[in-house]
Amino acid sequence: MKTFAASSALALLAGLGLASGALADGEYAGVTIDAKLIGGQQYEALYARIPEWEAKTGAKVNIVSQKNHFELDKEFKADIAAGAITWCVGSNHSSFAPQYPQLYTDLTPLLPAETIAGFVPANIEAATLDGKLVMLPRAQFDVSALYYQKSLYTDPAKAEAFKAKYGYDLAVPETWDQFRDQAMFFADPPNFYGTQYAGKEEGIAGRFYEIVVANGGKMFNDDFSPAFNSPEGKMALQWFVDLYKAGAVPPGTTNYLWDDLGNGFASGTIALNLDWPGWSGFFNDPAASKVAGNVGVAPAPKGAAGVRTGWSGFHGFSVTEACANKEAAASLVDFLTNEDSQALESAAGPLPTRTAVWDKVIADAASDPYKAEVLAAFQETAKTAFPVPKTPYWIEATNLIYPELQAAILGDKTVDEALQTASDAVDSLMRENGVY
């Protein structure tokens, strides 16, 4: 522990040394950086550090827009269409980034190599599109792990009944098949449900994507022609259909998005919940959650191929190609994602994207068993996490896929019909855009 403290102090000093080396006093005096940043309580604490950067460099930051990512996305698209890229720094997200191939500049030549080396390599890889490092990840890394109600696994009557029905011991699920069995077993509608899932838009398309991968399949071939209409894809969709048909999920789940899921699990009416790290504090807060004190966290289960699900994404900051002072803008982006900034953000719960900060949060959590359990589960899941397919048409493809997934879940179409329709629609989308 002592050694760690000493080494982290050294690392911190080294970090500060680097930071002060990079930020020469008054280096950008007179420069104003216009920024469009993601708003919302969990994201804004970081922006309180901006005056520190301003004092150091002499530059000014002017936040011209602060909205949620979906609204920012629409605004960016309108700006691109109008040719009105008058700002320098923008919030970005790994799922949205491939949509704006010409908007952002390559950060590699603007930053010291050791800065980039401090990030988790998988994150840098996911932030690199067509060889361009389009953003630096902030401490808002997202991958889903399994939250569950611990008391369900300590009840001997349940354990006995489960074994009698399914022929194996009741334990926290390690595979999606076990997860399905247990969700059906625990369900007692309309008061209690085995699980729930995001049922629309990128939410369900992303879940489907990660289960396809966990089953050993893929969403797209190398030329980005659709590949999900496969045995692995059918198996994945069948999983959603089975849970819905069995009444193991709330009947409204096809309309649910993240807030509905988080509030649902916190209401104590859901047994198993695959969810993001940002909810961990909320679920265990007695003022907000009925399951506080009863929450267990495990790594995401594995699919038929023995691969863990791990659809992941992260927030970051990018510099526009049209920016007049890219060096100053890159310096701001660097500052907002450096070790101090990431330590500040991850102290509130979100996961970091810098190796040193991962080590720090795990060491800090040593005295808090729940936090340690959360971090261990997410770190294990993060090891094999993967980003969305790197095509500008990902979001558009998900908009074609999700209504078909819903149609199969609700029984309007069979699994085969739904995937065939979705695959045909994505195929014509790709052809129309000249992808192949």
Partner 1 sequence: MYQMRLPPWLVLLLPAFVILLAVVAIPLVLSLYSSFTAFQLTRPETITRWIGTFNYGKAMGDANFWAAFGRAVLLLTLALNLEMLLGLGLAVMVAKVTLGQRLLRTMMMFPMMFSPILVGFQFKFIFNDNVGLLNNALQSLGLTDVAIPWLVDGNLAFLAIVAAEVWTSTSVFAILILAGIFAIPQDPVEAARVDGCTPWQTFRYVTLPFLMPFIYIAMAIRSLDVARAYDIVQVMTAGGPARRTELLWTLIGRTGYVDARMGYANAMGYIAILLSIVFTVYFFRKLTTARTSLGMGD
Contacting positions for partner 1 (CB under 8 A): 73-74, 77-78, 80-83, 99-102, 189-190, 199-201, 250-252, 254-255, 263-264, 267, 269, 392, 395-396, 399, 402-404, 406-407, 409-410, 412
CB closer to partner 1, 342 vs 398: 398
Residue with tokens 């000493």: 6
CB closer to partner 1, 269 vs 280: 269
State the nearest-atom distance from the C-beta of 64 to partner 1, in Å: 19
CB closer to partner 1, 162 vs 208: 208
State the nearest-atom distance from the C-beta of 75 to partner 1, in Å: 10
CB closer to partner 1, 334 vs 404: 404
Residues with Cβ within 8 Å of 322's Cβ and at least 6 positions away in sequence, in order, are: 85, 86
CB closer to partner 1, 134 vs 139: 134
Which three-class secondary structure string do you get for the chain? Answer: CHHHHHHHHHHHHHHHHHHHHHCCCCCCCCCEEEEEEECCHHHHHHHHHHHHHHHHHCCEEEEEEEECHHHHHHHHHHHHHHCCCCCCEEEEECCCHHHCCCCECCCHHHCCHHHHHCECHHHHHHCEECCEECCEEEEEEEECEEEEEHHHHCCHHHHHHHHHHHCCCCCCCCEHHHHHHHHHHHCECCCEECCCCCCCHHHHHHHHHHHHHHCCCCCECCCCCECCCCHHHHHHHHHHHHHHHCCCCCHHHHHCCHHHHHHHHHCCCECEEEECHHHHHHHCCCCCCCCCCCEEEECCCECCCCCECCEEEEEEEEEECCCCCHHHHHHHHHHHCCHHHHHHHHHCCCECCEHHHHHHHHHHHHHCHHHHHHHHHHHHHHHCCECCCCCCCHHHHHHHHHHHHHHHHCCCCCHHHHHHHHHHHHHHHHHHCCCC
State the nearest-atom distance from the C-beta of 401 to partner 1, in Å: 12
